[in-house]
Amino acid sequence: MRLGFIIRPPHQFLSLLLCPGLRIPPLSVLCAQPRPRTMAVSSSSWELPLVAVCQVTSTPDKQQNFKTCAELVREAARLGACLAFLPEAFDFIARDPAETLRLSEPLDGNLLGEYTQLARECGLWLSLGGFHERGQDWEQTQKIYNCHVLLNSKGSVVATYRKTHLCDVEIPGQEPMRESNSTLPGPSLESPVSTPAGKVGLAICYDMRFPELSLALAQAGAEILTYPSAFGSITGPAHWEVLLRARAIETQCYVVAAAQYGCHHEKRASYGHSMVVDPWGTVVARCSEGPGLCLARIDLNYLRQLRQHLPVFQHRRPDLYGNLGHPLS
């Protein structure tokens, strides 16, 4: 297992660095970019809530996938995390739409039951980033939902968000995606949820390309935005980090993005590079190659100071923008 750690900088440098990440192996320090000195961190980094971001390579084997995820969640709990994030399709990645539908389960099925037990056992919250859910309309539609499930430390489901933007794209050099072949779009956004790390806004993968969604979550009170993902090998190097950093900067939120990595089967591979971005747009933790996890501390005092010094939400002009959701003419 590969782990990323947050190391504590000397107190006198807290105004310059936010919890640099250390990835093992190789031994390397990921340094944050300088913050304005007027927004120095006042509290000890060890007092801040710790979150874990898990990176996996899902296959069609659901039990093996659970074993891998459970190992990472237990390690996150051992290291002191209060909340662990798993990527989109943490349950499985199938070879085709028919297999996707066959392997899917309802929220009260056996697999989610194993995760509720895992949350209770480890005593931490779980962000299950994209569960293939047979909804209440399964019998009528024979289609599923891509459902982001949030469990508390008692194993209770406290929020569900069903992906609203489905990925139907054809990128040259990358396997075509037709998510709508097996999946229905969700009907609504989910209000941000209070967790031990802060107020979490739920999204999934392709949603990150729609800034309207992230702004709506931020305006509803989100302090942490989550984009569990399975980005492709072509769009990943081009768009992954820049989109996540843009969403963090424009909303002044932390962004947590747990990602799938590597070859899932002969038809599909994912980019990986799970990461955490702070509200200044700095990548403060990241995974590199292979299954593993990285850790980051969430500093809400810093977030509030940044919003006070750079009050962009007070400067918005909704009277000028109108409805930005219409297709291009």
**Residues catalogued as catalytic:** 88, 163, 205
Report the C-alpha gap between 295 and 22 in whole angstroms: 9
Q: Strands (DSSP E) along 56-155, which ranges?
A: 83-86, 125-133, 144-151
273, 240 Cβ separation under 8 angstroms: yes
Q: Is 110 exposed, middle or buried (0-12, 13-18, 19+ CB in 10 A)?
A: exposed
**Which helix (DSSP H) or strand (DSSP E) does residue 212 occupy?**
helix 211-219
Report the C-alpha gap between 52 and 269 in whole angstroms: 23
Cα distance between the two ends of the chain: 49
Give me the helix-helix angle, 62-78 and 110-122, nearest 10°.
10
CB atoms within 10 A of CB 137: 12
Tokens of 100: 């996707």
CA distances from 188 to 138, 185, 235, 260 (A): 18, 9, 26, 25
In terms of DSSP bridges, do strands 198-202 and 168-169 run parallel, antiparallel, or are they unpaired?
Answer: unpaired
In eight-state DSSP terms, residue 259 is B
Report the C-alpha gap between 206 and 98 in whole angstroms: 22
229, 260 Cβ separation under 8 angstroms: yes
In eight-state DSSP terms, residue 313 is G
285, 294 Cβ separation under 8 angstroms: yes
